[in-house]
Structure 1
């Protein structure tokens, strides 16, 4: 087991109340595995990744649980110990490459800084490695492009630079936060293919944060679906798509446009909005948007239960399987 997260809680203490961005979640990630975390904006995906990296900023704070990386709790590491781990054993591709890359430094300087810090190489060796990494991620004329500034590159190129930077020290765990957002379909496919190739090349685990189930179907081995800070469903990717259980996951899948669909009806849309995190409803957070909502759902929060390795947080599956079939 490379990464094991147990009962993680991350909260933001705001003027008008407390936001439970990550509310008691647990999951694990094996070496060489790609685990996707999906959900709408505000579901807690990115805060989960930032909690693992130790990058949650005030007024946010990890208030409970443990994050075990190779058996050691990252939450017990001090600032210097986490700095030694970040960029070396654990790396992250941030959501927006244009704001993540420093606009006043050349590409080579930003990649070489990480290499020289963690691998203790000379400037010449760091330069050679930086060029090599740019070549690996598919940037043409890497020695020339390494001298460019971020604004001189396209969005796809900048995303490749972020990937090269994250992989430069050959991390054991790569966290990719929305790595294909705002990219056209062709570049999306190239980035996903690159991540898959790097996983195979370095036997690296990948925690993929995304809202796009199309991306998940192409890249992931297992999937976690989050809603309002909680895990509502977890399964291997094939099971999730073929035997969807939670109404929220079903709504996300039904919202995907399909070329073979010749219906003239409007594309399905989950009704309502994600609730205000400062005014969370009693019971299941999805109850007001759920087509299968029962009275009990508005009063109680269902537990995350497991059926044949498939986890779901829904009262429809709490009793016998026949109970769920009545509501299908």
Structure 2
């Protein structure tokens, strides 16, 4: 096991109250595995990744739990110790490459900085490694493009640069936060194929954060569905798409346009909005949007339980006396 997150709680203390952005989240990632974390904006996906990386900004802080990377608790490390791991053993691709890359530095300078920080090699060797990484991620004429500034590259190329930077020190875990956002479908497919090939080549684990279930179906081995800071469902990718259990997951899947659907019906939409994190409803946080809501759902919070290899947080699956599941 490469990464184990145990009962992670991340909070933001504001003047109006405390927001629990990540609420008792636990999961594992094995070497060479691609784990996808999906959910709407505000579900806690990115905050989970920033908590792992130790990049939370004030007023955010980890209020509890453990983040074990190769059995070492990252949460107990100081910034100097974390710096040795960040960008080296654990790397991250941030959401927007244009804002993540420094516009006043050349591409080569930004990648070389990461290499020289973590590897004891000369500047000449760092430059050679930079060009090699740019070539690996499919950038044409890498030696020439290394001298470009970010604005001289397309969105897809900038995303490839971010991937090259993240992979420059051969990390064991890559966190990819919305790596295909704002890219056209052709470039999306290329980026996903690139991540998959890098996983195969380096036996690298990938934590893929996205709201696009099409991306999940294409790339992931296992899927976690988050809602309001909690994990509501977890399963391998085939099981999740074949037999989704949580009403929220079903709603997400039903919201995907189907090419072969000739119906004139409007595309399905989950009713309502994600609740205000400062005023969360009592009971299940999805209760006010759920088509299967029961009275119990508005008063009690369901636990995450395992059913035939699936994990789901929903009262619809309480066992009856005969040991069978209730109607979904």
Normalised TM-score (structure 1): 0.99
SS at match of 1:275: coil
Q: 1-side partners of 2:195 and 2:94: how far apart?
A: 14
Residue 326 of structure 2 corresponds to which residue in structure 1?
Answer: 324
Q: After superposition, where does 1:47-86 map in structure 2 within 5 Å?
A: 47-86=47-86
Whether contact under 8 Å (1:92, 1:176) holds in the other structure is yes
Q: After superposition, where does 1:90-169 map in structure 2 within 5 Å?
A: 90-169=90-169
Residue 204 of structure 2 corresponds to which residue in structure 1?
Answer: 204
SS at match of 1:280: coil
Deviations 1:11-59 (A, max 9, x none): 0000100000000010000000000000000000000000000001100
Structure 1 stretches lacking a partner, 5+ long: none
Q: 2-side partners of 1:324 and 1:187: how far apart?
A: 43
Deviations 1:58-100 (A, max 9, x none): 0000010000000000001111000110000000000000000
Residue 315 of structure 2 corresponds to which residue in structure 1?
Answer: 315
SS at match of 1:66: strand
SS at match of 2:218: helix
The alpha carbon displacement at 1:323 in A equals 4.3
SS at match of 1:306: strand
The alpha carbon displacement at 1:307 in A equals 1.1
Whether contact under 8 Å (1:87, 1:171) holds in the other structure is yes
Q: 2-side partners of 1:134 and 1:158: how far apart?
A: 11
The alpha carbon displacement at 1:322 in A equals 4.1
Q: After superposition, where does 1:220-231 map in structure 2 within 5 Å?
A: 220-231=220-231
Normalised TM-score (structure 2): 0.99
Deviations 1:212-243 (A, max 9, x none): 00000000000000000000000000000001
Q: 1-side partners of 2:266 and 2:289: how far apart?
A: 18
The alpha carbon displacement at 1:319 in A equals 1.7
SS at match of 1:126: helix
SS at match of 1:147: coil
Whether contact under 8 Å (1:131, 1:143) holds in the other structure is yes
* Match status 1:195 vs 2:192: no
Residue 281 of structure 1 corresponds to which residue in structure 2?
Answer: 281
Residue 44 of structure 2 corresponds to which residue in structure 1?
Answer: 44
The alpha carbon displacement at 1:308 in A equals 1.9
Equivalent residue pairs, number: 326
The alpha carbon displacement at 1:324 in A equals 2.5
Residue 9 of structure 1 corresponds to which residue in structure 2?
Answer: 9
Q: 2-side partners of 1:266 and 1:152: how far apart?
A: 41
Q: 2-side partners of 1:283 and 1:236: how far apart?
A: 27
SS at match of 2:12: strand
Superposed CA RMSD: 0.7
SS at match of 1:131: helix
Residue 21 of structure 2 corresponds to which residue in structure 1?
Answer: 21
Q: 1-side partners of 2:263 and 2:111: how far apart?
A: 49
Whether contact under 8 Å (1:305, 1:318) holds in the other structure is no
